[in-house]
Structure 1
Amino acid sequence: MPTDETHAAGKPAHDRYDAVIVGGGHNGLVAAAYLARAGQSVLVLERLGNTGGAAVSTRPFDGVDARLSRYSYLVSLLPSKIVRDLGLDFAVRKRTVSSYTPVVRGGRATGLLIGGDGTRASFADLTGDEREYDAWQRFYAMTQRVAERVFPTLTEPLPARDGLRARIDDADAWRTLFEEPIGVAVEERFTDDLVRGVVLTDALIGTFADAHDPSLLQNRCFLYHVIGGGTGDWDVPVGGMGALTDALAGAARAAGAEIRVLHEATRIDTDGTRAEVTVRSPGGERVVAARRVLVNASPQALAALLGEERPAPAEGAQLKVNMLLTRLPKLRDHAVDPHRAFAGTFHIAEGYTQLADAYREAAAGRLPAAPPSEIYCHSLTDPSILGPELAARGYQTLTLFGLHTPARLFAADNAAARAALLEATLAELDSHLEEPIADCLALDGNGEPCIEAKTPLDLEQDLRLPGGHIFHRDLSFPYATEDTGRWGVETAHANVLLCGAGAVRGGGVSGVPGHNAAMAALGR
């Protein structure tokens, strides 16, 4: 068996594996499990002290028994095929509400509640008739038909563009999602500003773009947010996101893969047939030989490991805030119970005009005056992440995800910009509450409020996400081009594969790049 020892002469040992996987995030663990189950010798190298990457659960507040999904937090794109293939002990739960979006209309606090039997009535109350509801139903019936056809292809070899279009078999849907800026469809199909904004948010999560961006970056983002599982549902991971990566690590080890934490790959040398990976660990530096290397890191990191020119840097555009509350805050909209309003995605300052204003301000180099964001409460659906005492006392977690905050806005003074953005974001939330959110925050063991905020630059520091980009780079449409290769994971080197979020069909907690890289490595 390979060991961590060096030769007596002090020279690094050369271990040999069928596959070395650089990075122990969830995609790397998926690849490791598949390859090891196929009988290959596999080594996973993780620079941090734990596996999981951005898909982890931690206790971020000192002395508080609450295990939060610290970075990524909902599951939609993980195929049930991967769960079945790897025999994962992992489950998700449906949320009882899809979303709630508060607004003031005619001086009255109201909102749009989507999910359950009250959706039609909520649309009618907000807009005065049922036309927007009918348009909503038609639009999302269309996206579901697309999801049913596209999602199964994510774990198959990349289809050609024409092949995917034929599989969708809906000219209107193809034009709407793949050819015209999503803003065209939003404005043609909906008239209410708030409804338009709720639709558009799926095109902007982790993506800095205008509704009419000619690059269709927003369309690519929208597509991945509505195809998950063939339904577009975003589900709650039972036990938190760390439950998934713990299950994946267990599956990889059970199949025979070796996982070494605090082992950082610093260089990859390859001739296309054999490769050597230089590894730095507390025990010193060594070289590991492999038939192939799978890199669960960004394209920028891959280039650096190979000593090649790095691609243009990506730029993240989100604020991530984790909170622990002693209770849910009261709403100004008395028609909705907070336990329903926060059971789904709670939209803040995400009307269509508000989103456009925030984009223009950020593009001009200013923090948005009314930062758009959305909140999710894990503990309402799955209280298991709270210690028994906290759960019994009615504590709740809140995760806030802010939009239109590109990394460039934090370059001059990250700490000051973070504080200013957090203050403005919470003020927008407070405008829809009867009590400030600060009054509901729990205190940690040091008497400090249980709230933490992370900008794109913080995420770059914590996780080496380039520019804090949660997808590693801009998303791609899920079809082949002349540069993609058969699986969308290939590189210029025959025995080096990209299995991270920057692969084609990457992004989100899906395991898809890990699966596809394993299939490419196995020649399937």
Structure 2
Amino acid sequence: MSAHEGSRSYDAVIVGGGHNGLVAAAYLARAGRSVLVLERLGHTGGAAVSTRPFAGVDARLSRYSYLVSLLPAKIVQDLGLDFRLRTRDISSYTPVERAGHPTGLLVGGGERRTREAFARLTGGDREFDAWQRFYALTGRVARSVFPTLTEPLPTREELRRRVDDEEAWRALFEEPIGVAVEERFSDDLVRGVVLTDALIGTFADAHDPTLAQNRCFLYHVIGGGTGAWDVPVGGMGALTDALADAARAAGAVIATGHEAVRIDTDGRNAEVSWRSADGEGAAAARHVLVGASPQALAALTGDTPPAPAEGAQLKVNMLLKRLPRLRDTSVDPREAFAGTFHIAEGYEQLAEAHARATAGELPAAPPSEIYCHSLTDPTILGPDLVAEGHHTLTLFGLHAPARLFERDNDAVREELLRRTLAQLDAHLAEPLADCLATDADGRPCIEARSPLDLERDLGLPGGNIFHRALSWPWAQDGTGRWGVETRHPNVLLCGAGAVRGGGVSGVPGHNAAMAVLKQDVP
């Protein structure tokens, strides 16, 4: 896009071509608005992309975000997206050693099979019955709350009435999630499996009084009204490619390699200045939607930035020649890795890891979880790799706050990766290193990203995958009608940092577009 083309006026300029910005662009363009999307990187998609990270290897991995739960079917249908999800029959597998013998908990494959797995691990039906009751409770909440995400924000009391379940409201919205876990479950491993959904991407203890862990748990169990986490066919890039296609087909202009550097607004009219390899330019707009973080928004408008955010995860991508054999021979690796494979995520292990990281130390036994995309969707691998038995592994490590990496990012990342893989190896019948494929240069196919790497690569503040602490899905002072409003009437936040943001959902993009369309009604 030339400087001359950028100088024209648009109904909406969208800063950031991640999935939320693309959702907003597609909705607005389909409603007849002129739309310009400015994307800093040379491609759209943001954190929801598929790439070939290993030289000379035909494996297209979801490099950052990797599973889908919070994307409403309404958005897929409204925008006519050519995009599919596949469910996972196995929910999770958690290995453990009991009485000196390797065993584990396999959740999935039908109720009878799951009940039997609980009985083998815990010696009876009590934990499974408690599991059934607890997830029936979260299911009721999911069916009540999920549909509200694409509606104007309810008040807290309106949402409470909609949930209409005082036991559920107390457990999820009022008391630390650790209370609910400890009241309902006795087995340390089962407690840990439940708690992990409260900690993925959030650095908190089970009893954190701020309830940051409860908000994280809520968003992990309400997706689609069921809480299921599904595999995007073709990888996460298939979604953002479909969104970009939908936006362009509707008439939106998408300018990659164009970094927004300033937003000037009087509340009614705005101008967005940008720079690219070809020079600088500006575009006038009635509305500006920002898919970047609240910190980036403040920098663009000259406003006071919000409190710093901090991510707390290690993201690792791998390609294997074969799936490793397990010490627990009662389970097939093809099932164990098809769901979420929990590592060092017992309840006490999670608490110990959090305490160590809070004290400024790397956890001795870093908790993490793994899944294998290619078992559910082999299309991300070239035919030869599939025929040879190759598979991908995605690892997401918990309790790794950005502060730990500040003294020496590379060295700390490598040490944390070593400790994390050692925890995995403890449950394998062969070292993972023996199973890693190699790239065209003979290097093992494994890459790791710390929070500081994510901040550098994607502009995530402190590497926080949610841009900032997740919010409750109701109106609070200053949140506005849709949860996307800012102090500037014609500048909206359409990224993960909006109310009801976080995860691959498209919800902030949808809601920002709806806010614009409602504002434009005479």
Residue of structure 2 equivalent to 1:98: 91
| SS of residue matched to 2:12 | strand
| SS of residue matched to 2:418 | helix
Give me the whole-angstrom Cα distance separating, in 2, the residues matched to 1:489 and 1:88: 24
Give me the whole-angstrom Cα distance separating, in 2, the residues matched to 1:281 and 1:370: 45
What letter corresponds to residue 117 of structure 2 in structure 1? S
Match of 1:4 among 2, 17, 24: 2
What letter corresponds to residue 404 of structure 2 in structure 1? L
Give me the whole-angstrom Cα distance separating, in 1, the residues matched to 2:333 and 2:309: 37
Match of 1:80 among 73, 87, 107: 73
Query: What do the CA deviations read for 1:216-268 (whole angstroms, capped 9, x no partner)?
Result: 00000000000000000000000000000000000000000000000110000
Q: Which consecutive residues of structure 1, in runs of 5 or more, have no partner in the other structure?
A: 7-11
Give the CA deviation at 1:459.
0.3
Determine if contact 2:3/2:279 at 8 Å carries over to the other structure.
no
Give me the whole-angstrom Cα distance separating, in 1, the residues matched to 2:487 and 2:255: 27
Match of 1:452 among 447, 471, 474: 447
1:134-173 equivalent positions in 2, closer than 5 A: 134-173=129-168
Residue of structure 1 equivalent to 2:14: 21
Determine if contact 2:288/2:491 at 8 Å carries over to the other structure.
yes
Match of 1:268 among 260, 263, 272: 263
What letter corresponds to residue 4 of structure 1 in structure 2? S
Match of 2:82 among 82, 89, 106: 89
Residue of structure 1 equivalent to 2:46: 53
What letter corresponds to residue 291 of structure 1 in structure 2? R
What letter corresponds to residue 227 of structure 2 in structure 1? G
Moved over 6 A (4+): none
Give me the whole-angstrom Cα distance separating, in 1, the residues matched to 2:348 and 2:6: 61
Residue of structure 2 equivalent to 1:226: 221
Give me the whole-angstrom Cα distance separating, in 1, the residues matched to 2:89 and 2:135: 18
Give the CA deviation at 1:4.
1.9
Query: What do the CA deviations read for 1:84-113 (whole angstroms, capped 9, x no partner)?
Result: 000000000001200000000000100000
Residue of structure 2 equivalent to 1:249: 244
Match of 2:488 among 472, 493, 500: 493
Match of 2:108 among 106, 111, 115: 115
1:27-42 equivalent positions in 2, closer than 5 A: 27-42=20-35
Query: What do the CA deviations read for 1:493-514 (whole angstroms, capped 9, x no partner)?
Result: 0000000000000000000000
Give the CA deviation at 1:14.
2.5
What letter corresponds to residue 308 of structure 1 in structure 2? D
What letter corresponds to residue 105 of structure 2 in structure 1? L
What letter corresponds to residue 226 of structure 1 in structure 2? V
Determine if contact 2:150/2:507 at 8 Å carries over to the other structure.
yes
What letter corresponds to residue 475 of structure 1 in structure 2? L
1:346-425 equivalent positions in 2, closer than 5 A: 346-425=341-420
Give me the whole-angstrom Cα distance separating, in 1, the residues matched to 2:367 and 2:403: 17
Residue of structure 2 equivalent to 1:441: 436
Does 2:339 match 1:344? yes
RMSD of the alignment, in Å?
0.8
1:256-295 equivalent positions in 2, closer than 5 A: 256-295=251-290
Give the CA deviation at 1:5.
4.2
| SS of residue matched to 1:522 | helix
Identity %: 77
TM-score normalised by the chain length of structure 2: 0.98
What letter corresponds to residue 75 of structure 1 in structure 2? V
Give the CA deviation at 1:406.
0.1
Give me the whole-angstrom Cα distance separating, in 2, the residues matched to 1:504 and 1:80: 20
Residue of structure 2 equivalent to 1:130: 125
Determine if contact 2:3/2:281 at 8 Å carries over to the other structure.
no
Query: What do the CA deviations read for 1:6-41 (whole angstroms, capped 9, x no partner)?
Result: 4xxxxx963100000000000000000000000000
Determine if contact 2:273/2:282 at 8 Å carries over to the other structure.
yes
Give me the whole-angstrom Cα distance separating, in 2, the residues matched to 1:13 and 1:454: 35
